[in-house]
Amino acid sequence: MRIALPMLLAAAVALLGEEPPGPSVASNGHGFGSRDSDEVVQARARALDVAGAFANDGYKLRDGYWSGLVTDKKPLFLEVSLFHGNQYWFTAAAASDNAALSLLAFDEEGIPLDGNIFRDEGVVAFGFEPPASGRYYLRLDLAGGNVAAFCLIYSYK
Amino acid sequence: MPLLPLAADPAIVPLTAEERTSAARVEAVTIPSPGEFFAAVSKTGRPDWAAVTRCPVNLSASARPQIAMNLGAMVADGYVAVENQDGQTVKNIGRDIMTLAKKLNVGESVIARGNSIADFAENNDWNALKEELEATQNEVKLTLIEQKDEDLVVLVSLGAWLRGLEVATNLTAKSYSEQTAALLRQPGVADYYVHAAGELPERVRDDPLMRSIRQRLAAIHSAVSQPVGHVFSAAQVESIGKIAAAAVREICEDPSPSPPAKQTRGDNPESAP
């Protein structure tokens, strides 16, 4: 039996009056095809649709992804390791159009980075060239709606 | 597709240390693939990929953690062969990956991937091969998770990373450049693996091979966790390379005291002892 995770989580938040626990619950630990909810599957399909345009520009898509639930009260953060010389696009999508996502990148000191943004209904992509090889952080925010299932993928060249 | 350039808005608040510490680490996106690493290496010059191709690798290990790391290292070898545009070696490596996958009881799930690798290699479709290699690795990991072998998942990735480091340091040693050497700065990756290896169940973590690998991991972690802007000297590159090479050698060694006739690439995997 599949339960719509956003409903379940929203109910849990309402009952407990607490914010959901950190990344270990909100995000997919492995990110390559675990048993995802329908919403995550849908979000991934939408992200792949957008990332297809980057593939036309020579970007290769990573096979894995980050997924879970994001709420409007708590941004989520993802650590990645990138290489200077490569160019990257990170694409995040929600299952529905009315979730306004925002995506930003930060260096290992937490300083925001310059880049390019693509935004559409329920989808956002951030592209940039890392100034140095090492750790970077992505911040995913939800503006429209209380909670949304999301999927983030990335491409590089 | 309309794109908007975004100059970092002064109103965007930098991340706090707590926010950075709380960041999720999802292996499939937090850890770069060997293809991603080698794509960056390729941009720094004209790497001699043929010179870093390994001789036939020992496939006879029977301990599952060792097999998992060996499989990961083999995937990295696949990327090297793709960069070298050597279709026959790619096909050979594809067969070896299948052999190791069968030893982990995940062979059935990657048969189709193995066939795809051979087909793409036959058609010299190097871009598709890069994606197929990663997809194969992830297919192995997913099947390991489904059969409750989660401990082996990180070891597959670890084997690939160690072999990738060995390759990159060898390339840099043959033709040193600061740009290539700078790619060795991977504190997040090293940190991830040190932490993950420490979280393995005791029976795996305290295995003699894993103890040795963890010691080498700690040394690599120290060497690659340099400040931004650090210039890796040729000596530092060589040092990292030696540690990575030693780790890869241990991963591929047959640990039994009186090994039977070794099964290597070129032998019929169906007649393996």
- The tens-digit pLDDT sequence of chain B (273 residues) is 567 776 666 678 999 999 999 999 999 999 999 999 999 999 998 999 999 998 778 888 889 999 999 999 999 999 999 999 999 999 999 999 999 999 999 988 788 889 999 999 999 999 899 989 999 998 999 999 999 999 999 999 999 999 999 999 999 998 899 999 999 999 999 999 999 999 999 999 999 999 999 999 999 999 999 998 899 999 999 999 999 999 999 999 876 655 555 555 544 444 333
Chain B CB contacts of A48 under 8 Å are none
For residue B141, give the chain A residue with the closest CA.
Answer: A32
Q: How many CB pairs under 8 A join A and B?
A: 183
CA–CA separation, B265 and A30 (whole Å) = 31
CA–CA separation, A125 and A114 (whole Å) = 13
Q: Which of A106, A127, A153 sits opposite B15 (nearest CB)?
A: A106
Q: Which residues pair with A82 in a beta bridge?
A: A134
Chain A CB contacts of B116 under 8 Å are none
For residue A53, give the chain B residue with the closest CA.
Answer: B1
Test the B interface: residue of A63, A74, A119 with most B CBs within 10 Å: A63
- The overall average pLDDT reported for chain A is 83
CA–CA separation, B125 and A2 (whole Å) = 39
Q: Sorting pLDDT into bands at 50, 70 and 90, what band is A5?
A: very low
Instruction: Tell me how long chain B is.
Output: 273
Q: Are B119 and B87 within 8 A, CB to CB?
A: no
- A85–B43 C-beta distance less than 8 A: yes
pLDDT mean over A120-141: 96
Q: Could you give phi then psi for residue B4, rounded to 5 degrees?
A: -115, 120
Q: Sorting pLDDT into bands at 50, 70 and 90, what band is A36?
A: confident
Q: Which residues pair with A152 in a beta bridge?
A: A66, A92
Structure tokens at B242: 């030696």
Chain A CB contacts of B227 under 8 Å are none
pLDDT mean over A64-89: 95
Q: CA B165 → CA A59, A61, B142, B155, B218, distances in Å?
A: 23, 22, 24, 15, 14
pLDDT at A9 over 60: no
CA dihedral B210, B216, B217, B221 (to 10 degrees): 170
C-alpha distance from B30 to closest chain A C-alpha (Å): 4
Structure tokens at B12: 């965007």
C-alpha distance from B177 to closest chain A C-alpha (Å): 14
